[in-house]
Amino acid sequence: MNLLCCISLMKYILAFIGTVSLVLGVIGIFLPVLPTTPFLLLSAALYLRSSRRLYNWLLSHKHLGPYIKNFYEKRAIPLRVKIVSVSLLWITLLYCAFFVASAWWMRILFIAIATGVTVHILGYKTLQR
């Protein structure tokens, strides 16, 4: 295969992975276990490298575009999103730590992950309206 063919194939692969990420992000709007914003940011990054048309469509989307624009432009997360994300994170991981994990080290791991992600989320500025 020549270089041009490989580049073209790679663009299709990136667009496909971006679409899978987008679907997961949209599902994450309705399922608290899946995060929305990281999947949308990944989709935007993959679309930017594969298809300018898909990237522009995503950024101009009525409902999904603001998630990405706010994060890219302001490096901030809305207060409501912070509260919901951190709350659901702790509810889910505490449930796993106390009702799913059988080993003590797994319980500590779940709580450590929840703490790390919480610090990460709260480390971003809060988006003011």
pLDDT digits (tens, 9 = 90+) for 1-45: 576 677 788 999 999 999 999 999 899 888 766 778 788 889 999
Please tell me the pTM assigned to this model. 0.66
Q: At CA 101, angle to CA 96 and CA 107, rounded to 5?
A: 80
Q: What residue type is 31 in one-letter code? A: L
Residue 98 confidence (pLDDT):
93
Q: Which residue has the higher pLDDT, 82 or 53?
A: 53
Average pLDDT over residues 69-82: 83
CB atoms within 10 A of CB 119: 9
The confidence score (pLDDT) of residue 23 equals 94
C-alpha 70/C-alpha 47 separation (Å) is 18
